[in-house]
Structure 1
Amino acid sequence: MLGVVGGTTLERFLLVHVPGLLLAALFLVVAVGVALGGLLLVRRSVALSTLERHNDVAGFIIAVIGVLYAVLLAFVVVVTWQSFDRAGQVAGEEAQLVEGLYRDASVFGPQAGEIRRNVEAYATFVANREWPTMAGHQHEDVQTDDALDSVWNSYRSFTPDGATQQAFYSDSIRRLNDLQKARADRLEASASTLPDALWGVLIAGAVITVGFTYFFGLANVRAQGLMVTALASMIGLTL
């Protein structure tokens, strides 16, 4: 699925507490059920002979609509996947920076213990508090903010002694700045969703595309039902 429409309590509950596969299956069942319900309603309301007379015209129109909707849907899928991939890269970079800070702290003598404790505390808060918060598309965790500030304070209170410590200290400050930026990028990526207007266009396009299949008159309604099911399933899984 592409994302969530917004940040309502119901959506957050579903995303956090319902497994992704189950949520996709439920969405698919609803989409197919609505599509088949519309087909049966049209077939009961309009005579088959009337629908058959419009097969050619409906075919040309749905070809144009289908291409336009497919292009739009493909564009949204690509952009969403790129955003997802970028979020994964940023999270990986953040983990590497934390690992580097923890490792290089060993050269700072007695201060190494405090630095490592604070770095470890930050990593723990990110894993146990901030990641669950991100799942609900909420803002950063305040305690994780404090943990990162403690890491900064550990370096501010330390004065490097000698060329070796100075070199590692300068590199650690650079890593720490990069860590803060990586965290900000991660939080920004987790909060991004598709605009409501774009969701409206996607859903309207799905309704129009599936709805146009009702204007085809097939003698075998089961065969037409299978076609509608396949189309609704593909669109539903993508959304």
Structure 2
Amino acid sequence: MSEWLVLGIVMAAATAVVVAVTLLNQRRRSLKEARGDDLRDDGVETPDVLEYMTMMVGVVYAIVLGLAIAGVWEARSVAQDEARREAQALHELVQRAEVFPADYRARLSNDVDAYVSHVVRQEWPRMVDGDDVNGRGGELLDEIRDDVAGHVPRGELQAQAYQPMLDRVAIVDEARNSRIQSAAATLPGVVWFGLIIGALVTVGLIFTMNIGRSYQELLLAGFFSALIAFLLFLVWDFDAPFGRSGTDSADMFRQLFPGAAGTAPG
């Protein structure tokens, strides 16, 4: 299901619930008024202390929700930075091998392509789904490390490129480990419980303010509930460090290795 479709359904559902409850409450008061019942128990006048409590709850929840959005956004940025660092290090590794013989460059390039293909085609879907990444990617990276470490440089140019190539392999290994560790969701379940309960309490408190006495109030209540639903959707979407679809977060590998990203490793 598309993320935008999920967003539309959530916002529409939240707005519909608030509007429906408000209209039902307004109809109930109208029926009581038509029967001549006493409306003093309906709380037509909202006490000042209730208005103050409603405002404070809204402020506290806004702070918590803002911190949650900032936290998942930062975690997502760090995870994607590590993926870009991994892809860039692989690209520089291939570029620095230009001073080596053609057969060595071809072998190293093929091993790098196999690694990139495995990362994009095999590891990325598993990370997006929250599954464990198998060890095949580590084996392919070991082959790249053996290619670099096992070749004896000949000449000054190859000697100058040799150590930076080893450094790039170390960067790839470090970035790979960070990428895998960052694939899990950022927020624990207890935080999600607090966010959802807080949203229900915050939206529910607007009914204590006797909304529905005018269509302007009803419209604002609908917009408010839709805003809360939208912000919760942002937290849910950003809580996946590599996205819910995973297509955008692997673009760095596709840009630097367009051929390898389109072929599955053998």
TM-score normalised by L of structure 2? 0.75
Secondary structure of 2:225's partner? helix
What is the match of residue 226 of structure 2?
Answer: 233
What is the match of residue 63 of structure 1?
Answer: 55
Secondary structure of 1:174's partner? helix
Does structure 2 retain, via aligned residues, the 8 Å contact 1:65–1:209?
A: yes
- Counterparts of 2:114 and 2:183, CA distance in 1: 22
- Counterparts of 1:39 and 1:203, CA distance in 2: 21
Structure 2 spans left out of the alignment, 5+ residues: 33-38, 233-266
Deviation at 1:43, TM superposition (A): 4.6
Deviation at 1:101, TM superposition (A): 0.9
Structure 1 spans left out of the alignment, 5+ residues: 1-17
What is the match of residue 20 of structure 1?
Answer: 3
Matched AA of 2:224: L
Q: How does 1:1-239 map to 2 (within 5 A)?
A: 18-40=1-23, 42-43=25-26, 49=40, 50-109=42-101, 110-218=103-211, 220=213, 222-239=215-232
Does structure 1 retain, via aligned residues, the 8 Å contact 2:149–2:166?
A: no
Q: Percent identity?
A: 26
| Structure 1 residues 130 and 62: alpha-carbon distance in aligned structure 2, compared to 1, 3 A threshold | same
- Counterparts of 1:60 and 1:134, CA distance in 2: 45
Deviation at 1:96, TM superposition (A): 0.9
Does structure 2 retain, via aligned residues, the 8 Å contact 1:42–1:214?
A: no
TM-score normalised by L of structure 1? 0.83
Does structure 2 retain, via aligned residues, the 8 Å contact 1:91–1:182?
A: yes
Q: Which has the larger radius of gyration?
A: 2
Deviation at 1:83, TM superposition (A): 1.3
Deviations 1:113-149 (A, max 9, x none): 1111101111111222222222112222433232212
- Counterparts of 2:57 and 2:27, CA distance in 1: 25
Deviation at 1:165, TM superposition (A): 1.6
- Counterparts of 2:201 and 2:28, CA distance in 1: 19
Deviation at 1:97, TM superposition (A): 0.7
Determine which structure has the larger helix proportion and give its number: 1
What is the match of residue 12 of structure 1?
Answer: none
- Counterparts of 1:227 and 1:55, CA distance in 2: 21
